[in-house]
Amino acid sequence: MTRSLVTLTLLIACLALAPAQAANDRGFFWRVSSPTTVVYLLGSIHFADSSFYPLREIVEKNFQQADALVVELDITGIDPQQYSEYIRRHGYYPPGDSIKQHISKQSWRRLQALLQTFNIAPETAAAKKPGLLIMDLTAAMLDRLGYQAGEGVDLHFILQARRQGKPVIGLESLQQQLALFINMPAVETLLQASLDEAEQAEIQLQQLEQAWKSGDEQALQQLMIMQPEARYKDYRQINEALLYRRNDAMAAKIRAMLAGDKRVFVVVGAGHLVGERGIVRRLKQAGYNVERL
């Protein structure tokens, strides 16, 4: 399980760039200083392609100088058997129940149509909890568009760290992330937003690409946070679960790192860094010196 965000916009966070521009694009990168150390924050995507690389020299240079890498979840350390067992035990509705009992008839018809485009049997998929089902659909959609978790920024740095013997620290556990997706709130709203985004995938990708290329925090915040909350009445519940509460927990762990003496390089989804309740704002409010690089 490599995702920290569920719907298309949230899951990608930002997009792969054109090969000739990648090394020059600004991206989302900060340096946070305390009296004892420095922590670097990089806004990641979880799916990308080879055109995303090389990253800017300043990003790679500071990673090389870091004592440890911190990510949302160390996906290279996942036990496949543990993952499958958790999904089997918690990821499905009990016999006699399905997603059809928890969404409107219109949403079920739209979901069936989307499932069929990926040759997924609707009756089989209906047994899965909504967050897990949408996560699978989004992964299939991105795969069709050419974006892979294997090209993601998180994995790019995890593999480097492993080769160099650099410690890799996870901010969250596999169980935490799986429980988050399986127990998503506002099921109808979650599904409606995901289906709407699926119908506008190319436009969404173009907008996210531009936001990343220009390093535009406001544009990214609009796409990922403000627009969905304005469009769907219950979407704030989704952001509370996916972003806001997790931002607070991650920021607290980063503050603990800033109290130490190790230079740490942190890679999290770009959506966690922007906005009024993002990690960057939380660290500024805590009194740290935060500089955009």
pLDDT band at 25 (very low <50, low <70, confident <90, very high): low
The neighbouring-strand residues paired with 44 are 269
The average confidence (pLDDT) of the chain is 85
The DSSP line for 125-194 is HTTB-HHHHHHHHHHHHHHHHT-BGGG-HHHHHHHHHHHHT--EEESS-HHHHHHHHHT-S-HHHHHHHH
pLDDT in tens, 63-82: 999 999 999 999 888 889 99
Number of domains in the chain: 1
Whether pLDDT at 12 is above 60: no
Q: How far is CA 82 from CA 77, 168, 170, 173, 182, in A?
A: 11, 20, 17, 12, 15
Beta-strand runs (E) in 159-225: 168-170
Whether pLDDT at 14 is above 70: no
For residue 3, being part of any structural domain is answered with: no
For residue 203, being part of any structural domain is answered with: yes
For residue 41, being part of any structural domain is answered with: yes
- DSSP one-letter code for 55: P
% pLDDT > 90, the chain: 56
Give the neighbor-by-neighbor strand order of the sheet with 29-33. 168-170, 68-71, 264-269, 38-44, 29-33, 289-292
3-state DSSP call for residue 186?
Answer: coil
Per-residue model confidence (pLDDT) at position 27: 74
- DSSP one-letter code for 290: E
pLDDT in tens, 141-198: 777 777 665 667 888 999 999 999 999 999 999 999 889 888 989 989 988 988 888 8
For residue 22, being part of any structural domain is answered with: yes
pLDDT band at 26 (very low <50, low <70, confident <90, very high): low
For residue 2, being part of any structural domain is answered with: no
For residue 226, being part of any structural domain is answered with: yes
* Percent of the chain as helix, strand, coil, to the nearest 5: 60, 10, 30
> Taking each helix axis from N to C terminus, what angle separates 80-90 and 174-182, rounded to the nearest 10 degrees?
30
Query: pTM above 0.85?
Result: yes
For 42, phi and psi rounded to 5 degrees?
-115, 125
3-state secondary structure 86-123: HHHHHCECCCCCCHHHHCCHHHHHHHHHHHHHCCCCHH
Mean pLDDT of the region 249-267: 98
**Distance separating alpha carbons of residues 244 and 240, to the nearest angstrom:** 5
**Distance separating alpha carbons of residues 228 and 1, to the nearest angstrom:** 24
Quote the Cα angle for 205-208-214, to 5°: 140
For residue 141, being part of any structural domain is answered with: yes
Pairing of strands 168-170, 29-33: unpaired
pLDDT in tens, 36-47: 999 999 998 766
Name the residue among 27, 28, 39 with its Cα closest to residue 66. 39
Mean pLDDT of the region 274-290: 97
Residues 6+ apart with CB under 8 A from 132: 87, 91, 181, 182
Give the number of residues written for the chain.
293
Name the residue among 200, 196, 198, 193 with its Cα closest to residue 232. 193
Q: How far is CA 125 from CA 37, 82, 92, 98, 112, in A?
A: 48, 21, 9, 9, 9
Residue-range definition of the domain harbouring residue 79? 8-292
Mean pLDDT of the region 245-256: 97
Per-residue model confidence (pLDDT) at position 148: 60
% pLDDT > 70, the chain: 86
Whether pLDDT at 19 is above 60: no
For residue 1, being part of any structural domain is answered with: no
